[in-house]
């Protein structure tokens, strides 16, 4: 019986214990920070029980617990802790502020890391994960809609197409308005290249950067933030920080594999009427016309049977398929760390021939050479390759395809005699183009960065950073001879056949030597920085091209009858000396002063050097709040800044007026054996000085409810003066078509708002919300005295208006019609504005246990688009609008008698006679469900026994929904001709954008 | 004190080094100076390509109804014109043309190459004369000063005419200096034959005198006298023509490519058909699809390109030439002047020589019955003299801008405005939009139907 008694004894003991533990007591106390201020809203829980309390607004709490319970305390912004209550009824707890949470470190100009709390200007950070989750290979597109004050305009749906990024509005009349990209402190090139051979957008070179190698990016928006970058940063800076290994970190291998399918978003067209004119059918064989003003297909009989329909898109487009695989290894020992990654991105575009492939390799090695000397060496290598067809209306197949009558069978592509078969004259059949023209661009790019940090004294750091950006581009284009466009000996290369090989060599070197001193004494914290920058870039363009091809399907320049070559190279250098002082007082006030003195090789000899600088102040007013207030608003900061930045804003060799190799429509001299030069059409300006950008900015940052809600808003006003306009138009009577002036002025005013919120935060369910909003109003103030218009720039108007033929209207704005009942032109004028009224983005992240759902919407309100596809489509009778073909009376006033119009007109006459520019400027407003992504992360505990540490699977949809109430194409987010200033908002026969679904698998070992 | 001194020394040295580092702005791609021969060749090509055969010239052919694009109305061909359509023309006339000719002249004068200076002046006269015949008042006396004058005023047309004659006279004087340096292959037009240049200068003198037969302040008789005087030294044979010989397709061939959809106008084709002109097959190609001579009538529905006639290969094919100023024109000018001075009987033989010169150029045997029959059917009387001279001149000057000037001066050959015309037949071109934006002048308000000074 002993055994049972022992058992009973044990049970008794346990019961006693339970009873003892169940003896509750009440513990009270105050939770405060290191300065003695109460921490409201904190969670206090007894360990291993459900006993739970929260602190009140003063930080006081009261909790009922077991006698000897341990308190687990957690509060947002503080390091959690455990506190014993044994023998106590009052426990006052002091929590340490969580430096990670509050002292958000951001990367600022020159790669200097600073505490966001004290920053005197606006920045916005995006995590690398946000970029990769967008499933966009082009970093610029990956940022779209996510950063306030930043406008991103993608050019086309072509795989590898360029995208434009402008921060806080355009400030240069015709020069570069796009942001500077900087990788780990070293500027890189973002030119749009591969534009020379075939019409259509090229590739912006930042797309060579693999988003998977990026830890995060910081966008420096205003001049105060970028003043240290000087000239090149005047248009805003995107700072890219790449991934690193970690000290004493075991090797971690991450593998990610993605597969996505893309479906083209094609514009609607009419499918009711066949080829012909005046309702009379043309068969497209011996009766050719570009018009689809033929008979109703439903009643059309060919040889007694119902006429079949042929969907032009169906014969041409294909399913896009993209794979993206990447692998990375990172880790480190006691004194060094490493990160290695490789990705291969392979996209097959929805338009035939078009694909984009990118191999990217990135390696970073960080080591402590000596106790106070560390070095980092990194090298990025990218091999990218884009192949595409020409776009636009000159010789692009999409132009012909979009005009293709629904009644015309695109097969066979060739006639029995081998000639091109098409429904109309003077163009290439689209399917013929697929086999007979191609533009290919291969880029090999190296971006090495070498950084040394020497810390001889605890408060002194010397940084030496040398970086380069070196790439070559081989751009090859060919088109076969096309009898449809002209004879074999035509001077038109599109007719006679052409081959063009353009090689670009680009290299850029950047060196910074920075001395940084940091010391805190009394209530002051002082940071002084002195530095020097040396920069040079060199680009060389060598082109050989041949026309009048003589050998079928052989696209070497040796096949050409006429061969021409050209070469050009450009060199530009800069030096800069800079200094910065950041002085903080008592964590309440921060003053930042910068000064820079730059010299640029491209300006007039006596005006090469120019100084500038900035002053900024931030005031953390929440420090002054009585403690009781801090539960509602736990952080509040006001900031003010003023900056004046100089910029060289012009390419090399603009000072003189040289002779230029003469050219004819069909190519450069020599012509018929004679060499020839003409004086440059652009008059040099030997007195060029720097341009200037002045900006003031006011900002408010606040955090509420223990940082559950964050709010940032900025107002800025920036004005460029002495703006350089290279080659600005002047009267031909001067003997020149243009010169370079130093007189442009453009103003941008705007508001940027960013709100972060975590409405729900719990163990199993989180909801995070980010909303950004920006509105920018810009105005061209001056071009040069005497010139009020330069293309799409008009003094007193926003940057990039649409200007062209407009309709005659009466005094009250009502459309006028002529004696025949048709509207007519009344000269040219402003007919649209490409600038949006505002931009917004909203990202929602929901996480429930192992599932997360991310949904991102963005909105563009306003911003006109010129719909060139409809301009042609209405004329040809393919546009959706031309589906309604009954006679009608325009709601207008007769210009003849001033009375209401009563004249009945034919739809065909109306659409074919109304090719005015104004008619096709459409409001480009859109709301897009840009991405929605569902991710499942396997519970790590399930993987304990495997070598796998993390495993996740996600499905992402892109462009799932587009609401564009005024634009009649499929996707108003388009700029068919590329990223140049004047191309913004032009939609003209570029590859359709697509909707995609992406499956991604991520594994970590 | 000592420390600041060191800083000063250091920074001076540093900045000095920087200045040297930044000294890389010398253009390696384009020469600072070139010799005359290198300028002459592209200037001549520009005149043939872009002034004789460019955008303005094509629009002129719409107005005089030799070209009708296979396009729906409205368009340039139905007189829907915008100022911006002519931006590029002023680049050809003023920048590639006149400013480079000015530089060529200045260089040649400075280096004593009087023949180059002569050519520069004669070609300047041609370009300036063509410009004023298209736009009326145009910049000249204040032009070509670069940034010293961004807004040159427009000179009155009569002043421009004085400048044209002045350039021609000085050009002739330069040739008479008998400089030893003559151009070679860089002179596409005459390969350095200065006698031919001189004949051209006199022919142009006559052309521009005759343009002013009804200009205010001038009399037809006085202008005819001056023209006849100049014509004594003008072109003597078809060999003297100012023509640009292309090895490949000439500019007209390119202008009639399938993409432009330009085809011949029915007005022109029908004229040759109804007069049984033997030159028809030499100048006009039958429609590929139909084998018929068929021009397009503006305003008709768009048809198939292969149902229309194109210019012949001789006019617009591989190896074709642009005939800019011809011996025939010299003869027709002489016939017109002679008619004004001495009547139809005196003018008739010269008129016939003019027609014959053109037949000869096209390779006809002018004694053949078809040719003599045609010429006999086109006889001159006091009543029809100006009409006949202009009709024949316009065929000999097929695709020449001069036909527009002659029509404005004389009303011949008669043309009616096209179907669907947006206005009466234009009597000038619009000033370029680029001019209106960068150099506002009151003349720019001109409408296409406004008449020039000499066209009153």
Q: Answer yes or no: are the C-beta atoms of A281 and A273 closer than 8 Å.
A: no
ipTM for the predicted complex comes to 0.94
Considering just the CA atoms, what is the radius of gyration of chain A in Å? Answer: 33
Which pLDDT tens digit goes with each residue over B42-66?
Answer: 999 999 999 999 999 999 999 999 9
Alpha carbons B387 and B406: distance in angstroms, whole number: 10
**Which residues are registered as beta bridge partners of A531?**
A514, A578
Distance to chain A for B79, nearest Cα, Å: 13
| Alpha helices, DSSP H, located in A323-479 | 397-402, 430-436
With both helix axes pointing from N to C terminus, report the angle between B100-110 and B114-135 in degrees, rounded to the nearest 10.
160
B437 touches chain A (CB under 8 A): yes
* SS3 label, residue A56: coil
Is A58 in contact with A627 (CB distance < 8 Å)?
A: yes
Pairwise pLDDT comparison (B214 vs A71), residue with the higher score: B214
Task: Round to whole Å and give the CA distance between A635 and A756.
Answer: 14
Tens digit of pLDDT for each residue in B414-432? Answer: 999 999 998 999 999 999 9
Give the one of B138, B144, B304 whose C-beta lies nearest to A425's C-beta: B304
Q: Does B82 touch chain A (CB under 8 A)?
A: yes
Asked whether the beta carbons of residue A735 and residue B38 sit closer than 8 angstroms, the reply is no
* Whether the Cβ atoms of residue B114 and residue B108 lie closer than 8 Å to each other: yes
Q: Is A982 exposed, middle or buried (0-12, 13-18, 19+ CB in 10 A)?
A: middle
Closest CA to A877 of A904, A917, A918, A906: A906
Angle (nearest 5°) at CA A868 between A865 and A871: 115
- Closest-CA residue of A relative to B53 is A665
List the single residue in A288, A681, A731 with the smallest CB-CB distance to B151.
Answer: A731
Q: Which chain B residues contact residue A805 at CB under 8 A?
A: 82
Q: Quick one: DSSP state of residue A969?
A: S
Q: Do B146 and A288 touch (CB under 8 A)?
A: no
Give the torsion through C-alpha atoms of A986, A989, A990, A992, to 10 deg.
110
Size (chain B), residues: 456
For residue B370 the two structure tokens come to: 């078809």
Q: Is B344 helix (H, G, I), strand (E, B) or coil?
A: helix
Nearest of A853, A978, A870, A967 to residue A917 by alpha carbon: A870
pLDDT score of A457: 93
Residue of B28, B32, B39, B42 to mutate, interface with A, max A Cβ within 10 Å: B42
Question: Number of residue pairs across A and B with CB atoms under 8 Å?
Answer: 225
Residue A460: CA atoms inside 13 Å, Cβ hemisphere, count? 4
Q: Is B379 on the interface with A (CB under 8 A)?
A: no
Least Cα separation, residue B327 to chain A (angstroms) = 25
Shortest CA distance from A793: residue in chain B: B437
Asked whether the beta carbons of A734 and A787 are under 8 A apart, the reply is no
Minimal-distance CA residue of chain B relative to A734: B144
Interface test with chain A among B29, B256, B287, B301, by most A beta carbons within 10 Å = B29
Q: How far apart are CA B124 and CA B98, in angstroms?
A: 6
Q: Which residue's entry shows tokens 């000719």? A: B101
Q: Using a CB-CB distance cutoff of 8 angstroms, which residues of chain A are in contact with residue B243? A: none
Phi, psi angles (nearest 5°) of residue B4: -65, -30
Whose structure tokens read 């305009």? Answer: A153
CA–CA separation, B434 and B411 (whole Å): 32
For strands A926-937 and A986-987, give the pairing.
unpaired
B136: left (phi over 0), alpha (psi -120 to 50) or beta: left
Nearest Cα neighbor of B391 from B443, B335, B318 is: B335
Interface test with A, best of B7, B12, B22 (most A CBs within 10 A): B22
CA distance A872 to A401: 12
Q: Which helix (H) or strand (E) holds A944?
A: none
Report the distance separating Cα A485 and Cα B152, nearest Å: 42
For residue A171, give both structure tokens.
């400030």
Task: Find, in chain B, the residue whose alpha carbon is nearest to that of A912.
Answer: B72
Beta strands B138-139; A677-679: pairing state:
unpaired
Distance between start and end Cα atoms, chain A: 56
> What's the pLDDT score for residue A26?
84
Which residues in chain A touch residue B432, judged by CB atoms under 8 angstroms apart?
A: 732
In A140-229, which ranges are E strands? 150-154, 163-167, 180-183, 186-188, 192-193, 203-204, 214-220
Let me know: does A204 contact A979? Beta carbons within 8 Å: yes
**Distance separating alpha carbons of residues A783 and A777, to the nearest angstrom:** 18
Please state whether beta strands A893-894 and A816-817 pair in parallel, antiparallel, or not at all (unpaired): parallel
- How far, in Å, CA of A877 to CA of A900, rounded? 28
B344-382: burial string, b at 16+ Cβ within 10 Å, e else = beebbebbbbbbbbbbbbbebeeeeeebeebbeebebee
Contacts of A134 (CB under 8 A, 6+ apart): A141, A142, A144, A211, A856, A930, A931, A958
Q: What angle do CA B71, B77, B79 make, to 5 degrees?
A: 130
CB-based contact B42 A671, cutoff 8 Å: yes
How far away is chain A from the Cα of B205, in angstroms, using its nearest Cα? 24
- Residue B85 to residue B62: CA distance in whole angstroms: 14
What distance in Å separates the CA atoms of residue A66 and residue B300, rounded to the nearest whole number? Answer: 101
- CB contacts of A671 in chain B (<8 Å) are 41-42, 45
The Cα angle at residue A532 between residues A528 and A537, in degrees rounded to 5? 145
Q: Which of A934, A1005, A851, A1000 is nearest to A256 (CA)?
A: A1000
Inter-residue contact B330 to A317 (CB < 8 Å): no
Element (H, E) at A707: none
The tokens for A492 are: 């038109």
Q: What distance in Å separates the CA atoms of residue B270 and residue B293, rounded to the nearest whole number?
A: 8
Does B7 contact chain A (CB < 8 Å)? no
| Cβ(B311)–Cβ(B399) below 8 Å | yes
Q: Is B432 on the interface with A (CB under 8 A)?
A: yes
pLDDT of residue B6: 67
Residue B243 has pLDDT above 60, yes or no: yes
Q: Which pLDDT does position A977 carry in this prediction? A: 85
| Segment 85-114 of chain B within 8 Å of chain A by CB | 90-91, 93-96, 98-100, 102-103
Query: B438 vs A786: CB contact, 8 Å cut-off?
Result: yes
The alpha carbon of residue B396 is apart from the nearest alpha carbon of chain A, in Å, by 26
pLDDT at residue A901, as a whole number: 96
**E-assigned strand segments in A303-354:** 305-306, 320-332, 336-348
Q: Report residue A420 as tokens.
A: 């091109």
Give which of A395, A655, A729, A731 to mutate to test B binding, by max B Cβ within 10 Å.
Answer: A731
pLDDT along chain A (1005 residues), means of 10: 48 44 74 75 77 79 80 74 81 68 70 83 90 90 90 89 91 89 94 84 93 94 85 87 91 96 95 94 90 94 92 95 96 94 96 96 95 95 96 90 96 93 93 96 97 94 96 96 91 93 96 94 92 95 95 95 94 94 92 94 94 94 78 90 91 94 90 96 95 94 91 96 93 96 95 95 92 96 92 94 93 93 89 95 94 95 95 94 95 94 95 86 96 93 88 95 95 88 90 95 94
pLDDT of residue A19: 43
Instruction: Give, rounded to a whole angstrom, the gap between the first and last alpha carbons of chain B.
Output: 84
Q: Sorting pLDDT into bands at 50, 70 and 90, what band is B142?
A: very high
Q: Which residue of A has its CA nearest to B74?
A: A913
B95, B142, B186 ranked by CB distance to A681: nearest: B95
pTM for the complete prediction?
Answer: 0.87
């Amino acid at each position: 019986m002993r055994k049972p008694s022992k058992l009973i004894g044990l049970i008794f003991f346990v019961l006693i214990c339970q009873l003892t533990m169940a003896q509750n007591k009440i513990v009270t106390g105050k939770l405060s920070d290191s300065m003695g201020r109460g921490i409201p809203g904190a969670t206090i829980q007894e360990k291993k029980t459900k006993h739970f309390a929260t602190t009140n607004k003063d930080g006081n709490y009261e909790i009922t617990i077991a006698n000897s319970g341990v308190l687990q305390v957690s509060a947002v912004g503080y390091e959690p802790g455990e506190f014993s209550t044994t023998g106590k009824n009052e426990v006052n707890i002091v929590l340490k502020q969580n430096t990670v949470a509050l002292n958000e470190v951001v990367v600022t100009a020159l790669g200097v890391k600073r505490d966001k709390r004290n920053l005197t200007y606006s920045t916005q950070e995006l995590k690398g994960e946000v970029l990769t989750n967008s499933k966009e290979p082009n970093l610029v597109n990956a940022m779209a809609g996510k950063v306030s004050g930043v406008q991103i305009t993608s050019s086309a749906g072509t795989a590898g197409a360029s995208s434009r990024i402008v921060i806080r509005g355009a400030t240069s009349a015709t020069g570069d308005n796009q942001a500077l990209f900087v990788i780990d402190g070293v500027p890189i090139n973002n030119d749009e290249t591969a534009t020379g051979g075939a019409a259509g957008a090229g590739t912006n070179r930042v797309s060579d950067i693999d988003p998977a190698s990026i830890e995060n990016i910081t966008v420096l928006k205003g001049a105060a933030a970028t003043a240290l970058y000087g000239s090149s940063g005047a248009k805003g800076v995107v700072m890219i920080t790449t991934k690193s290994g970690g000290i004493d970190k075991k090797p971690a291998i991450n593998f990610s594999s993605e597969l996505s399918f893309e479906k083209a978003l094609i514009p609607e067209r009419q499918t009711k009427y066949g080829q012909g004119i005046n309702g009379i059918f043309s068969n497209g064989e011996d009766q050719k016309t570009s018009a689809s003003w033929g008979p109703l297909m439903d009643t059309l009989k060919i040889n007694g049977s119902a006429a079949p329909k042929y969907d032009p898109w169906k014969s041409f487009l294909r399913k896009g398929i993209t794979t993206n695989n990447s692998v990375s290894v990172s880790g480190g020992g006691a004194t060094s760390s490493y990160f290695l990654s490789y990705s291969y991105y392979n996209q097959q575009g929805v338009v035939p021939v078009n694909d984009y492939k990118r191999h990217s390799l990135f390696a970073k090695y960080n080591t402590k050479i000596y106790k106070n000397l560390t070095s980092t060496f990194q090298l990025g290598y990218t091999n990218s390759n884009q192949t595409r067809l020409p776009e636009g209306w000159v010789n692009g197949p999409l132009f012909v395809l979009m005009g293709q009558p629904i009644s015309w069978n695109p097969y066979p592509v060739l006639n029995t005699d081998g000639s091109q078969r098409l429904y109309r004259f003077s163009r290439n059949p689209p399917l013929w183009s697929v086999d007979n023209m191609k533009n290919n661009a291969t880029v090999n790019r190296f971006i090495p960065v070498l950084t040394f940090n020497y810390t001889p004294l605890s408060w002194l750091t010397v940084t030496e950073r040398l970086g380069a950006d070196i790439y070559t581009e081989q751009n090859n284009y060919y088109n076969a001879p096309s009898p449809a466009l002209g004879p074999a000996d035509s001077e038109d290369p599109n007719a006679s056949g052409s081959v063009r090989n353009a090689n670009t060599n680009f290299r850029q070197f950047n060196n910074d030597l920075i001395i940084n001193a940091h010391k805190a004494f009394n209530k002051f914290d002082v940071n002084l920085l002195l530095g020097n920058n040396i920069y040079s870039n060199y680009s060389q363009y060598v082109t050989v091209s041949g026309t009048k091809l003589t050998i079928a399907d052989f696209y070497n320049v040796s096949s050409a009858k006429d061969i021409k070559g050209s070469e050009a190279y450009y060199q530009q250098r800069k030096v800069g000396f800079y200094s910065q002082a950041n002085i903080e007082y008592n964590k309440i006030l921060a003053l930042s002063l910068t000064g820079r003195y730059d010299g640029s090789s491209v300006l007039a000899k006596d005006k090469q050097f120019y100084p500038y600088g900035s002053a900024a102040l931030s005031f953390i007013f929440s420090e002054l709040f009585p403690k009781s207030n801090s539960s509602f608003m736990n952080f509040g900061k006001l900031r003010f800044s003023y900056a004046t930045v100089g910029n060289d804003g012009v390419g090399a060799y603009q000072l003189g007026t040289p002779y230029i190799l003469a050219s004819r429509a069909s190519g450069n001299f020599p012509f018929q054996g004679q060499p020839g030069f003409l004086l440059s059409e652009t008059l040099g300006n030997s007195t060029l000085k720097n341009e200037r950008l002045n900006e003031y900015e006011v900002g408010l940052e606040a955090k509420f409810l223990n940082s559950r809600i964050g709010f940032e808003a900025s107002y800025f006003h920036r004005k460029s003066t002495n703006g350089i306009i290279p080659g600005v138009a002047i009267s031909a009577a001067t003997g020149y078509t243009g010169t370079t002036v130093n007189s442009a002025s453009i103003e941008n005013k705007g508001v940027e708002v960013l709100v972060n919120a975590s409405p729900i935060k719990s163990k199993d369910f989180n909801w995070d919300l980010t909303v950004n909003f920006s509105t920018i109003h810009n105005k061209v103030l001056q071009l040069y005295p005497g010139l009020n218009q330069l293309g799409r720039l008009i003094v007193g108007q926003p940057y990039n208006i649409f200007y062209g033929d407009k309709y005659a209207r009466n005094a009250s704005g009502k459309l006028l019609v002529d004696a025949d009942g048709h509207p007519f032109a009344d000269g040219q004028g402003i007919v649209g504005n490409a600038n949006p009224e505002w931009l917004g983005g909203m990202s929602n992240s929901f996480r429930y246990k192992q599932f997360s759902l991310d949904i991102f919407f963005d909105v563009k309100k306003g911003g006109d688009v010129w719909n060139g596809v409809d301009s042609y489509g209405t004329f040809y009778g393919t546009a959706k609008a031309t589906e309604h073909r009954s006679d009608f009376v325009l709601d207008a006033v007769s210009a003849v008698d001033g009375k209401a119009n009563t004249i009945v007109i034919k739809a065909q006459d109306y659409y074919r006679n109304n090719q005015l520019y104004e008619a096709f400027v459409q409001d480009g407003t859109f709301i897009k469900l840009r991405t929605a992504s569902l991710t499942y992360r396997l519970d790590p505990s399930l993987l304990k026994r495997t070598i796998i540490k993390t495993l996740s699977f996600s499905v992402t949809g892109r462009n799932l929904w587009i609401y564009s109430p005024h634009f009649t194409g499929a996707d108003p987010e388009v700029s068919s001709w590329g990223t140049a200033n004047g191309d913004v908002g032009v939609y003209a026969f570029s590859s359709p954008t697509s909707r995609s679904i992406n499956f991604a698998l991520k594994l970590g070992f | 004190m000592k420390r600041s001194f060191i800083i000063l020394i250091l920074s001076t040295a540093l900045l000095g080094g920087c200045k040297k580092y930044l000294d890389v702005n010398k253009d390696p791609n384009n020469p600072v100076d070139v010799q005359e021969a290198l300028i002459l060749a592209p200037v001549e090509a520009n005149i043939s390509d872009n002034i004789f055969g460019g955008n303005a010239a094509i629009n002129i052919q719409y107005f005089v109804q030799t070209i009708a694009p296979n396009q729906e109305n409205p368009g340039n061909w139905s007189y829907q014109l915008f100022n911006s359509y002519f931006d590029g023309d002023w680049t050809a006339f003023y920048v590639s043309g006149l400013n480079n000719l000015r530089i060529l002249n200045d260089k040649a004068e400075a280096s004593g190459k009087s023949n180059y200076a002569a050519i520069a002046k004669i070609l300047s006269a041609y370009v300036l004369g063509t410009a004023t015949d298209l736009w009326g008042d145009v910049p000249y006396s204040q032009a070509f000063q670069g940034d010293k004058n961004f807004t040159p005023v427009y000179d009155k047309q009569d002043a421009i005419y004085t400048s044209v004659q002045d350039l021609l006279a000085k050009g002739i004087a330069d040739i008479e200096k008998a400089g030893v340096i003559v151009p070679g292959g860089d002179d596409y037009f005459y390969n350095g034959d200065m006698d031919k240049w001189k004949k051209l200068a006199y022919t142009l003198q006559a052309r521009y005198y005759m343009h002013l037969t009804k200009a205010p302040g001038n009399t037809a008789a006085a202008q005819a006298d001056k023209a006849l005087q100049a014509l004594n030294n003008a072109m003597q044979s078809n060999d003297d023509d100012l023509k640009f010989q292309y090895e490949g397709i000439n500019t007209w061939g390119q202008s009639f490519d399938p993409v432009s959809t330009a085809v011949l106008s029915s007005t022109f084709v029908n004229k040759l058909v109804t007069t049984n002109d033997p030159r028809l097959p030499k100048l006009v190609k039958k429609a590929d699809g139909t084998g018929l001579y068929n021009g397009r009538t503006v305003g008709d529905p768009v048809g198939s390109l292969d149902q229309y006639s194109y210019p012949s290969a001789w006019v617009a094919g591989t190896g074709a030439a642009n005939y800019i100023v011809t011996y025939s024109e010299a003869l027709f000018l002489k016939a017109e002047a002679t008619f004004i001075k001495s009547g139809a009987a005196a003018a008739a033989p010269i008129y016939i020589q003019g027609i014959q010169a053109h037949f000869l150029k096209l390779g006809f045997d002018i004694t053949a019955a078809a040719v003599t029959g045609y010429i006999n059917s086109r006889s001159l009387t006091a009543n029809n003299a100006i009409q006949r001279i202009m009709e024949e001149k316009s065929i000999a000057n097929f695709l020449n801008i001069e036909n527009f000037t002659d029509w404005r001066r004389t009303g011949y050959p008669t043309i009616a405005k096209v179907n669907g015309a947006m206005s009466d037949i234009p009597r000038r071109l619009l000033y370029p939009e680029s001019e209106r934006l960068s150099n506002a002048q009151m003349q720019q308000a001109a409408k296409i139907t406004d008449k020039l000074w000499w066209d009153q």
